[in-house]
Structure 1
Amino acid sequence: MEDFIFRALLAAIGISIIAGSLGCFVIWKRMSYFSESISHSALLGVSLGLASGLGIHFGLVLVGAVFALLIVVLQERKFLSNDAILGIFSHIALSLGIVVLGLVGGANTDYFGFLFGDILSITNTDIVWVYSVLIVIASLLGFFWQRLLLLTLNEELAKAEGIQHMTYQLLFMLMIALAVSVSVQIVGVLLITSLLIIPPAIARVLANTPGQMVFQSIVVSIMAVVAGLSGSMYYDLATGPAIVIALGILFVLSQLVVTKRLS
């Protein structure tokens, strides 16, 4: 197996586990628009990482964390509705990212790869980064699982028990920012949200418990990413769209399963 194929598969499996698990909370908390806003800010993170010379991962985490913090603070003030806040930040971040990348990017900058993913750009350092983030997110989810789940399913009860809503909301948003930071090179800035919401949407049809949904979401995500990568390499397609098409096929099949159960 070629080295770049092995690296792509290894990175894709790690990202699938991250996105599959966090995506369930995105679906439960109805935060798909938030994940899209953070993913749009990723382009700004990429451009700042390139401009500073510290690397795109540093820029992605920094910008994602700052935007997550600002969004949480503005949501708590309740001055504007959540969708208005997210819409404002989403478009500002995307526009700033395009402008800054245009200023700092050179002739060799792979704009298409940043937008739609590029498996050829994955290095051994990226693999280490993906699995480091995986360990961090898996540890946080394992340790705070009960509190995050209670806040998701019954926020009023969680507040009555003394759980700090804002603290855990910020923690979850920072985890989303980390997930976005490792997903850019596989699915690209414009398609990261699909990896967070489609697998859990499919798993929701089949699962009976939250734990089952997380596990099945991860399995679905891995299946789609491997299928998408295979199609991308075989037919010379953009990686991100190929993965999303694979997810779309699995989603349609899951809906057929639901229809058959109801009939």
Structure 2
Amino acid sequence: MLRAFLGGLGVAGVAGPLGCFVIWRGMIYFGAALAHSALLGVALALLLGWPPDLGIALLCLAMASGFLLLDRGQLIASDTLLGVLAHASLALGLLALALVEGQRVDLMSYLFGDILALNDTDLLVIFGLVILVVGGGLCFWRPMLASTVNEDLARVEGVATATMKILFTLLMAVVIAVGMKVV
């Protein structure tokens, strides 16, 4: 029970501040899109013989990078793009899971986390993430806040707004990949 409490506390501690930026940036569906696409990461990891957690983390980072590349053109709204990416990768994940032979996959354990199943390694990863997010928050709070509130004004002030967007998006991808075990 102590592990569940500590794990929940760690994930909540990083999700709260980052969640504010998610709302301010209008990336409301970002978390759901990456969480749904993580099923493709599980399937690819099982097909390649890798640990599923590694597949989830790599796919979340890849999806976040893909989102950043596709969102640059501003041809469609960010939430529309996230919806397309989420459902396409979820469908591809289900297809890829059908190709996994000789292993029975419990989809519910990957789609819905189990806070009571956390082990000591999970806690180390969660609190490593807490250190990363708190450290990044202390170092980049002002430029990240400035680029979130008004990107043009932040650019005039000398803030590397593109770098802040990349940093924030990749940090969110890691938080989602780690937080999936808890939520």
TM-score by length of structure 1 reads 0.64
Choose which of 105, 114, 119 in structure 2 pairs with 1:118.
114
| Sequence identity percentage | 37
Aligned pair 1:173/2:169, yes or no? yes
Give distance in 2, aligned partners of 1:88 and 1:126. 31
Highest RCO, 1 vs 2 (Cα 8 Å, sep ≥ 6):
2
Determine the structure 1 residue equivalent to 2:148: 152
Structure 1 unaligned spans of 5+:
188-263
What one-letter code is carried by the residue in structure 1 that aligns with 2:61? A
- Report Cα offsets for 1:36-81 as digits up to 9, x if no partner: 2222222222333333333233212211111111111111122333
* C-alpha distance in 1 between matches for 2:128 and 2:50: 18
* Aligned-residue offset at 1:178: 0.8
Q: Pairwise mapping of residues 190-201 of structure 1 onto structure 2 (< 5 A)?
A: none
Structure 2: segments with no counterpart, 5+ residues? none
Q: Deviations over 1:152-189 (max 9, x none)?
A: 112110111232222111111111111111111222xx
Report the counterpart of residue 209 of structure 1 in structure 2: none
Alignment of 1:44 onto 2:54 = no
Which protein is richer in helix relative to its size?
A: 1
Q: Output the CA distance in 2 between the equivalents of 1:8 and 1:67.
A: 28
Q: Following the alignment from structure 1 to structure 2, what is the Cα–Cα distance between the partners of residues 110 and 120?
A: 17
Residue aligning to 1:19: 15
Amino acid at match of 1:137: V
Structure label with greater radius of gyration:
1
Aligned to 1:117, the other structure's residue is in SS state coil
CA-to-partner distance for each residue in 1:119-156, whole Å, 9 max, x for gaps?
Answer: 34322111111111111111111100000000111211
Residue of 65, 78, 82 corresponding to 2:78: 82
2:75 counterpart of 1:103:
no
Say whether 1:28 aligns with 2:46. no
Asked if the contact 1:42–1:180 (Cα under 8 Å) also holds between the matched residues in 2, the reply is no
The alignment partner of 1:32 has SS state of: coil
User: What is aligned with 1:70?
Assistant: 66
Structure 2 counterpart SS, 1:39: helix
Match of 2:126 in 1: 130
Would you say how many aligned residue pairs link Structure 1 and Structure 2? Answer: 182
